[in-house]
Structure formats: structure tokens, C-alpha cells
Amino acid sequence: MARPNILFITLDQFRGDSLSCAGHPLVETPHLDELAAEGVRLARHYSQAAPCAPGRAALYTGTYQTNNRVVANGTPLDDRFDNIARVAARGGYRPTLFGYTDQGVDPRDVLGSDDPRLSNYEGILPGFDAELDLPGECTAWLEWLADEHGHHFDRGDDALSTEHERPAELSVSAFLTDRLLGWVDRQDGPWFAHASYLRPHPPYSAAGRFARMYRPEDCAPPVPAQADPSGLHRVLLGIPYVAAPADPADMQYLQSQYFGMISEVDAQLGRIWEHLRRAGEWDDTIVIVTSDHGEQLGDQGLLHKVGFFESSYHVLGIVRDPRCPSTFGTVVDRFTENIDVMPTLCELLGLPIPAQCDGYPLTPFLDGVEPPSWRDAAYYEWDWRDSQLPTVGDGRPWDRSLEQMSLAVRRSEHRAFVQFGNGTWRCFDLATDPTWRTEEQDPSVVLAEATAMLAWRSSNLDRTMTGLLLRDGGVGRFPPPRTT
């Protein structure tokens, strides 16, 4: 193909284990399975932060939270960062959004204190044209439900929490898919679309028949909680909206709805695959699917995306490049990360990778080539200062109390090392116990993990300007290019 279409899909709060092709014993995802069979599935793929805005900032810019500093829903994204939409525009596309990106505007670039963008973290990533802007209140969907189908709702959550009461054809996912397919049919050249689906994000209410697709009694019990010397887990369990239901029956019903939401949005993806095939565009379209973060789903007694446990950060990852049929059906077991998406897009479009990117291009895996060097662990971060305000910190620029409300995780083959901002740590022995309930006892092993965490920090400091030198001949790279 001369220039491919790009379809970049995010499924919000999608756990990495909730795919039938990944071996889940209950959930059915035939269309994601189909995509994996015609592409490359990333079995150990991780988001870099939670909740939504931090996770998406890392995904969209290719940078760790330690560099982009989007630490909460509402933290502005510094406009100096390049992003996937700007990359697509440099590649000759008009990057178009269906859904949302949850990025706060850089307030230094906004004229006037009455600009509504200053009161909203659900802004659009710079560079995107929003064909369908569908943030949390889902206003466009609510208007469609009222005008076309006579269903009236004052709030988005009211409509979302009652999706089980209406036909699946009226779901928020079906609404987005309809708009996307109509737009695709109107394009007369290569296109770049970002389809940002809400589901399986809560409220836990699957649409129509999908609400009854899974019997609650068939859902396996979550991983139970464990003693927590750090005290953080105890704090989380005290926050009502992240504590899992105490009644096992209630927890199983919630799981059944989560799995139903997954199968419903999977069915919408099936509509896209079929539409592109009928239009003769399937083999002209690169498809990338991932999520902004995972979901605890009762593991460790928690819901949503919080803390340091893997359930909140291990996400799905599938890439299909029709130009690489020899690797169709490949499963990559190396650790991959959402920050790899932006450099991958750059290479797929033949563009240079910005110096800001902390991730690596996934293109060697798409070509069936083992990269000469690759990470031996996945890394992610979580910052909970927004839950502490205004009780911590005095507002002075040199006060660092809030910076201690953070953690970073190194998830390697056999261990998970958690470094807290206050200097404490935990180290889990995952080879012995993959449920994150057994602590590593060997001091030498803990020291090696801590050293690797420090090396990760050191090697991923911002290099945008540090890679440059001002010389007699003007701005040059450091070190200078090698000469033969």
C-alpha cells in the first residue's frame, strides 16, 4: 500500500487477561481473537499510569509519568510534548477523534480565565479533530437517545448505569461505531482515526443481551487481599468507591457485567472489521488496540484502577499490519508498554521518533525479528496526591510532601519491586506466588531489584535538550555522529 489507513483503538479499563485468546476461562472475545490471529498479540503489555488522564498522557506522548508529570485527572499536559496526533499530521493525515482523550489543556496557552477548558480535564489532545467528542457526560449520545429513541436522561452516568435495560443497538459503544463507520465511508483517501471507547469502564452495566451473557455464579473469585506493611492498601480499602463488594454474590454480579461489557464492545469491533472488509479497506488498514489502564475487578479487595497491583496495569495489546502477514498469529511474551505505541506509529509512517519518547518501536516484532536489546521488565507509576489534598503540603514551591504520595513498580519475570516516594519499598516473589501475596525474603535479590529500579530512573530522564550541544557550526547532537 502507498500509505495505509490507521485505526487506533482504546478500550477503557480493559484487563490484559480478559481475552479468550489469552486463555480466559469465561469471557468471549471472538473479534479481538480474530484480530490477534491476523496480527501480533502483546501478551505482557502494560499501561504506565492510572487513572485515565495519566494513563493516556503516557500512551499519547510515549513518555513515562516521571517525565510528562500528568499525575491525576486534571493535571495539565505540558504543550511542549509531541503526541500521536501531531505525528499523524506530520505524516500527511488529518487525525480524527471518536470518543475522548481526557487531557487537560496547558493553562499557559489559554487566554482568559473564563475559558471553559480551564475547568475540564476531559479535553481533546492537541492535534486531533473531534468528529465525535464524547467525554464523561456523553452528551451527544444522550441527545441521540432522546431525539431518535425517546429515552431521556439528565446525566451520562444515569444512561450508562441502565444500559442493561435497553437493546444493545442503543449502547454508547454502538453509537460511537455508527459515527465512525459513517465517517470512514465519506473519506476519499488514507485516513487516521482514533476510536476511544468507554467500555468496559464502569458503571458496571452491560448493554442489552450482553448483560445476561454470563451467569454470575460462573465467575471465579477474585484474588483476596493480603497484609500490607506499607499501609497504602489499608488506605485504599477505606475509600468507598474503590472497595470491592463484601458480598461474594454482589462481586460475581459485577464481574458478569464487566465481562458482558467486554463482549459487547468486542461485537462493535466485529462490525468495524466486517465494514472495512466489505469496503475493500481491511488490507489497507493498520489496526492498533490497547487500553489506558486495567481494572482490579475485586482483586486484593479493590475495584477500578488504584495502587501497585498488576490488575490495574496489565492491559490488552494487539497490532495488525497487513504488510506483515508472515507474523500473523504471533504472540510476543517480552514486556511491552503503552509508551511503545507512539514510536511504533512513527516507524510505521516512516517518520523519525522524537527524542522525548521513552518507549521503543514494536516494529521488529511485527517483522518477526527479535530486537537486539529489549527491556527485561515493565514499569508503571501511580500518584495519589489528589486523594490527600488539602491535608498534605503547604503550597510552597519547595515543599515536597506531595511528591511522596507516589510509587513506581518494576515488574520483571519473577518479581515485582514497588518503590514508594517516601523511601519505603515492597518486593513480591511472583515465581513462588503470582497472586502478589508473598514477599521476597532474600536481601540480595531485593537489592538487585532496587538497583535496577534506580537504573531505570536514571536512563529515562528527559533527554529532549540533553541530547543537543551548541557548537561553532550550530546546534548538533551529542555525541556527534560517528564517522568511518
Residues annotated as catalytic are 52
Question: Torsion angle of alpha carbons 168, 286, 54, 92, nearest 10°?
Answer: -120
Rounded CA gap, 161 and 150, in Å? Answer: 17
Do 58 and 47 form a contact (C-beta atoms < 8 A)? yes
Rounded CA gap, 50 and 71, in Å? Answer: 8
Strands (E) across 103-187 are located at 129-133
| Phi and psi at residue 333, to the nearest 5° | -100, 0
Is the omega angle on the peptide bond into residue 479 within 30 degrees of 0, that is, cis?
yes
CA 271 to chain centre: 23
C-alpha cell, 52 = 485515565
What DSSP assignment string belongs to 342-376?
HHHHHHHTT-PPPTT--S---HHHHTT---SS--S
Rounded CA gap, 344 and 324, in Å? Answer: 14
Do 393 and 428 form a contact (C-beta atoms < 8 A)? no
Q: Does residue 12 sit in helix, strand or coil?
A: coil
Radius of gyration of the CA atoms of the chain, in A: 22
Beta strand pairing call for 5-11 and 40-46: unpaired
Do 337 and 378 form a contact (C-beta atoms < 8 A)? yes
C-alpha cell, 480 = 556527534
Do 343 and 357 form a contact (C-beta atoms < 8 A)? yes
C-alpha cell, 408 = 513506581
Nearby residues of 229 by Cβ (< 8 Å), 6 or more positions away:
426
Looking at residue 38, the DSSP 8-state letter turns out to be: T
C-alpha cell, 234 = 489499608
Do 308 and 415 form a contact (C-beta atoms < 8 A)? no
Rounded CA gap, 50 and 70, in Å? Answer: 10
Q: What number of residues does the chain have? A: 484
